[in-house]
Amino acid sequence: MKTYIKDLSTHKDSVVTLQGWVQNKRESKALIFIILRDGSGFCQCIADLAVLGDIKFAEASKLGQESSISITGKVVEDTRQIGGFEIHVQSIDIVQNCADYPIANKEHGIEFLMDQRHLWLRSKRQWAIMRVRNTVIFSIHKFFQKEGFVQMDAPIFTGNAAEGTTDLFETDFYGQPAYLSQSGQLYGEAMAMAMGKIYTFGPTFRSEKSKTRRHLSEFWMIEPEMAFHDIYDNMDCIEDFVRYVVKEVLENCKVELELLERDTTILEKTVEPFIRLTYDNAVAIIKGEQEVEGQTTIAVLEQDLADTKANIASLKADIAEREEKIAAGGMKKGQVNFNLNTIDKNKNQIKQLEEDERNIPQWLDSAKNFTYGEDFGGSDETVLTRMFDVPVMVYDWPHEVKAFYLKRNPENPRFARGVDMLAPEGYGEVVGGGERETNEQMLIEKINEHKLPMEVFEWYLDLRRFGSVPHAGFGLGLERLIAWICKLPHVRETIPFPRMYGRLNP
């Protein structure tokens, strides 16, 4: 039976052997501090010259970052350490000593890190994110299984587009064109008529040339579909589902969230009811015509812009002050380095803030001039969710802007019964779904309206000919959910090897 770092608390004061990699190392004449990582966690190991002897100690002191080793030593409680324990080393076996590991313990640029993705996955932040991803995936399955859903796999090769507008990746399927799946939903509907409640969990491909923090070319989507469910049942399901997953992460990923420095207040708020708004209502809020808790979006955004400007000014003042101090001289070298590093960090922050400074006025403009009847843009979602601290569900959309398969509101046919769930803190659309059209004639009209080839939808129309029932479902973007839960600046860090516009390797 092997021992892992996560289980050290059960081995207090006994001697164990750990196998792993040198994450970092500090050395002196008689002591070496090795931060060992074994995939399950991180642990400081102290090697003493008096214990190891000259030869072994010299070997250990030469260990490069990410060298692979096996360490035997005593487990000692030490509250200063991450896991609360450290190892007093008795012996070290070197599996491989390596040198010149490319990723240093310092700030790197995103392009460099993405090129080193195969190695970057080993670093602490990425370790934490991948473990949150694992917990999210596992809890998604747990939720649907406990609710009686049947998991199904939709095909990845498809002969048609579910929604004509999106760009598809074309491949060659024995001489005829085929497209990589951009949604398993239509197949999910067929399966729901067989199983009652189903969910898909699979990869999705979209060749949108989008370079934003929310887009990947290959991402994972979860698509439940439920027979005898309407739009309101659907919203209940979305809410229960998202609440459950967030709760599971909060319970099982404490160490990871702490490592990511995630403020969990907003996540804990998901126990409260989510906000439900009709499209009309949401538009009024976006345009600043309707207040939320005494404030309009316009006022909030203008305040955000003012805050951003003030932040930039104070960071610049801080830099100037530090530069002045350094120039004045008399500072120790260590202090100078510290100040230089801080200046670098501030400059990076200023760059990000300056992008906000450029973007916020655009968003403000777009919100003020929002045309009723249009779909929300990314910035409109940001503006809307900025007003609330729980997820927002917007439903009953103008039918023209939504997919052909959505049901019309029988009381007001201008609206289609779609629903989008927008995550707080500016993360925007995480879920899109709705109640499906059950009337065959309405569907045929819509397919024609969208200029889609009727023949490939014949099988889909069969679902309306044989025992058609009200049904609803939604699609959840796994990476967007993880990005929000971890509060990451970009979805690219939520998937082991991201595929996006301009990025196919490694």
Partner RNA sequence: GCCUCAUUAGCUCAGUUGGUUAGAGCGACGGACUGUUAAUCCGCAGGUCCCAGGUUCGAGUCCUGGAUGGGGCGCCA
**Binders of RNA among 476-505, rule CB under 7 A?**
476-477, 479-480, 489-491, 502-503
Q: Alpha helices of 82-225 — where are they, by DSSP H?
A: 110-115, 117-120, 124-146, 185-195
- Binding residues among 18-47 for RNA as defined by CB under 7 A: 24, 26-31, 33, 44, 46
CB of 466 to RNA, least distance (A): 27
CB of 501 to RNA, least distance (A): 7
CB of 198 to RNA, least distance (A): 17
Q: Which is nearer to RNA, 263 or 354 (CB)?
A: 354
Round to whole Å and give the CA distance between 373 and 22. 57
Nearest to 162 by CA among 180, 176, 147: 180
Fill in the per-residue mask, 194 to 213: x = in contact with RNA (CB under 7 A), - = not in contact: ------------x-xxxxxx
Q: Which is nearer to RNA, 102 or 177 (CB)?
A: 102
CB of 48 to RNA, least distance (A): 8
CB of 176 to RNA, least distance (A): 25
- Binding residues among 387-416 for RNA as defined by CB under 7 A: 401
CB of 157 to RNA, least distance (A): 19
Q: Alpha helices of 5-123 — where are they, by DSSP H?
A: 49-52, 54-61, 110-115, 117-120
329 three-state secondary structure = coil
Which one of residues 64, 84, 155, 159 is an interface residue with RNA (CB under 7 A)? Answer: 64
**Beta strand pairing call for 150-152 and 197-205:** parallel
Q: Which residue has the tokens 């190695």?
A: 119
Q: Which is nearer to RNA, 14 or 194 (CB)?
A: 14
CB of 174 to RNA, least distance (A): 28
CB of 369 to RNA, least distance (A): 11
**506 cis-preceded (ω within 30 degrees of 0):** yes
Which one of residues 391, 424, 428, 473 is an interface residue with RNA (CB under 7 A)? Answer: 428
Q: Which is nearer to RNA, 91 or 252 (CB)?
A: 91
CB of 24 to RNA, least distance (A): 5
Query: What b-and-e string marks burial along 402-434, b requiring 16 or more CB atoms within 10 Å of the CB?
Result: bbbbbbbbeeeeebbbbbbbbbbebbbbbbbbb
Which stretch of DSSP H or E encloses residue 254? helix 254-259
Question: Given the rule CB under 7 A, which of 172-180, 215-223, 224-232, 406-414 is the region that contacts RNA?
Answer: 215-223
Nearest to 289 by CA among 368, 220, 396, 216: 368
CB of 202 to RNA, least distance (A): 12
CB of 263 to RNA, least distance (A): 20
Nearest to 388 by CA among 501, 250, 275: 275
Round to whole Å and give the CA distance between 451 and 440. 17
End-to-end CA distance of the chain: 34
The alpha carbons of the chain give a radius of gyration, in whole angstroms, of 27
Round to whole Å and give the CA distance between 302 and 300. 6
How many degrees, rounded to 5, is the angle at CA 391 between CA 390 and CA 397?
140
Q: Is 96 exposed, middle or buried (0-12, 13-18, 19+ CB in 10 A)?
A: exposed
- Binding residues among 111-150 for RNA as defined by CB under 7 A: 111-112, 114
Q: Which is nearer to RNA, 176 or 369 (CB)?
A: 369
Round to whole Å and give the CA distance between 230 and 406. 11
In the beta sheet, which residues pair with residue 372? none
Which residues, 6+ apart, have CB-to-CB distance to 13 below 8 Å?
A: 74, 75, 76
Which one of residues 95, 110, 310, 317 is an interface residue with RNA (CB under 7 A)? Answer: 110
Question: Given the rule CB under 7 A, which of 13-21, 261-269, 327-335, 464-472 is the region that contacts RNA?
Answer: 327-335
Question: Given the rule CB under 7 A, which of 90-98, 163-171, 233-241, 265-273 is the region that contacts RNA?
Answer: 163-171
- Binding residues among 368-387 for RNA as defined by CB under 7 A: 374-375, 377-382
Size of the site for RNA (CB under 7 A): 88
What DSSP assignment string belongs to 115-133?
HTHHHHTTSHHHHHHHHHH
Q: Which is nearer to RNA, 448 or 462 (CB)?
A: 448
Which one of residues 145, 236, 347, 400 is an interface residue with RNA (CB under 7 A)? Answer: 347
| Token pair belonging to 42 | 């991180």
CA 506 to centroid of chain Cα atoms? 20
Asked if residue 216 binds RNA (CB under 7 A), the reply is yes
- Binding residues among 218-277 for RNA as defined by CB under 7 A: 219, 221
Which one of residues 15, 95, 99, 320 is an interface residue with RNA (CB under 7 A)? Answer: 99
Which one of residues 183, 234, 297, 308 is an interface residue with RNA (CB under 7 A)? Answer: 183
Fill in the per-residue mask, 267 to 296: x = in contact with RNA (CB under 7 A), - = not in contact: ------------------------------
CB of 261 to RNA, least distance (A): 13
Which one of residues 2, 13, 55, 100 is an interface residue with RNA (CB under 7 A)? Answer: 100
Q: Alpha helices of 329-423 — where are they, by DSSP H?
A: 333-368, 378-385
